[in-house]
Amino acid sequence: MQTQSVEVILNRALANHDLSEAEGVILLQQKEAGAIAAIRQTANHLRQHQSGETVTYVINRNINFTNICEQHCSFCAFRRDEDADGAYWLDEAKILEKTTDAVARNATEICMQGGLHPGAKLNGGSLPYYLRLVRTIKETFPHLHLHAFSPQEVEFIARQDGLSFSEVIDAFQEAGVGSMPGTAAEVLDDAVRRVICPEKINTKVWLEVVRTAHRLGMPTTSTLLSGHIETPEQQMRHLGLLRSLQQQSLEQGDRGLVNSLCCPSLDKKRLNLCVAGSDAISPFWQMLCC
Ligand code: SF4
């Protein structure tokens, strides 16, 4: 009966129907080798149809300008208190040195994020501090793509300076930020968030910041931090929210989510069946999640 259900669901996917969250849960719950092989085969067929044999990659360096953070996400081994061993700030010279080295290694993109530090201010403002980070890179390397500052960081800056999300994102775009990392999504389910990242923005705010970025013409990525306390239903809810967001953004003519990143233990082939409209699915790479 269960195998029959899987077959029906896979045929619907092959016929280009959007799977429901309940159907996705059935796929995620499969443990039998034959069913898993059928899911992978279907996902691979759909991937082949969408992308052929083309595999793309970006040579990228992550620069995390500080690890001092006001929050205490339970999964985070990166953050430090200001006076703790290993706490650091990268000054402009160090950021430029890391960027220069990355360019010498053929990097075309810098991903920049950092801890949330209320002391990260320039002339009394948080936004000017972040804009100086952008300028540090873009004035020397104007052609580098800057993938920078998560929805959580946008909310942090807006809160610190009394600005709207659009004002922050607008200023980033004008300074040369090319896209927004979709980190801080973790699992878009507030019951999970209250346990693993209780101080972070909630689901509604994450979606609002990303929707605002799309509306302003800034593409974003999205992440799913899976394999801890979340259930298959919560994983599917997350993917359902991303799919709705993407459909809405594409309908409005925005580029929307250009990549969906799965970190780390949800089967990426099953994920591929459930998220429609994202240009690419990426494997996990080690990066800061704020
Ligand atoms: S994940 Fe980000 S926001 Fe959370 S504690 Fe770590 S650095 Fe701070």
pLDDT tens profile 226-243: 999 999 999 999 999 999
Residue range 126-155: average pLDDT? 98
> Which of 64, 67, 72, 73 has most ligand 1 atoms within 8 Å of CB, for mutation?
73
Cβ atoms of 281 and 267 closer than 8 Å:
no
Report the alpha-carbon distance of residue 250 to residue 135 in Å, rounded.
30
Helix (H, G, I), strand (E, B) or coil at 227: coil
User: Per-residue pLDDT for 14 more than 60?
Assistant: yes
Q: How confident is the model at residue 179 (pLDDT cuts 50, 70, 90)?
A: very high
Residue 273 falls in which region: left (phi positive, over 0), alpha (psi -120 to 50) or beta? alpha
Q: Of 250, 247, 196, 249, give the one whose Cα is nearest residue 225.
A: 196
Token pair listed for 281: 């699915």
Token pair listed for 137: 């890179």
Ligand 1 contact via 71 beta carbon (within 6 Å)? yes
Give the pLDDT confidence score for residue 282 in this predicted structure.
63
Ligand 1 contact via 151 beta carbon (within 6 Å)? no
Location of structure tokens 């709705």:
244
What average pLDDT is seen over the chain?
91
> Which of 65, 66, 69 has most ligand 1 atoms within 8 Å of CB, for mutation?
69
Give the pLDDT confidence score for residue 134 in this predicted structure.
98
Buried/exposed code over 105-117 (b: 16+ C-beta within 10 A; e: otherwise):
eebebbbbbbbbb
User: Per-residue pLDDT for 286 more than 70?
Assistant: no
Nearest-CA residue for atom 7 of ligand 1? 115
Q: Which residue has the higher pLDDT, 170 or 265?
A: 170
Alpha-carbon distance values, 147 to 2, 116, 137, 154 (Å): 43, 17, 12, 13
Query: Which amino acid is located at 113 in the chain?
Result: Q
Give the pLDDT confidence score for residue 1 in this predicted structure.
45
CATH fold of 56-282 reads TIM Barrel (3.20.20)
Burial class of residue 274 (count of CB atoms within 10 Å of its CB; 0-12, 13-18, 19+): buried
Which stretches of the chain are assigned E, i.e. beta strand?
Answer: 60-64, 109-113, 145-148, 220-226, 257-264, 281-282
pTM (two decimals): 0.91
Q: How confident is the model at residue 261 (pLDDT cuts 50, 70, 90)?
A: confident
Q: How confident is the model at residue 175 (pLDDT cuts 50, 70, 90)?
A: very high
Q: How confident is the model at residue 260 (pLDDT cuts 50, 70, 90)?
A: confident
Helix (H, G, I), strand (E, B) or coil at 214: helix
C-alpha 114 to ligand 1 mean position (Å): 8
User: Per-residue pLDDT for 132 more than 80?
Assistant: yes
Ligand 1 contact via 64 beta carbon (within 6 Å)? no
Ligand 1 contact via 72 beta carbon (within 6 Å)? yes
- CATH 3.20.20.70 domain locations along the chain: 56-282
Give the pLDDT confidence score for residue 255 in this predicted structure.
81
* Whole-number percent of the chain with pLDDT over 70: 89
Token pair listed for 114: 């950092």
User: Per-residue pLDDT for 111 more than 50?
Assistant: yes
Cβ atoms of 272 and 259 closer than 8 Å:
no
User: Per-residue pLDDT for 290 more than 60?
Assistant: no
Give the pLDDT confidence score for residue 266 in this predicted structure.
46
DSSP 149: -
Ligand 1 contact via 116 beta carbon (within 6 Å)? yes
Q: How confident is the model at residue 4 (pLDDT cuts 50, 70, 90)?
A: low
User: Per-residue pLDDT for 285 more than 90?
Assistant: no
Q: How confident is the model at residue 77 (pLDDT cuts 50, 70, 90)?
A: very high
Residue range 154-158: average pLDDT? 98
C-alpha 157 to ligand 1 mean position (Å): 15
Q: Which residue has the higher pLDDT, 90 or 264?
A: 90
Give the pLDDT confidence score for residue 109 in this predicted structure.
97
User: How far is C-alpha 95 from the chain's CA centre?
Assistant: 22
Residue range 175-180: average pLDDT? 98
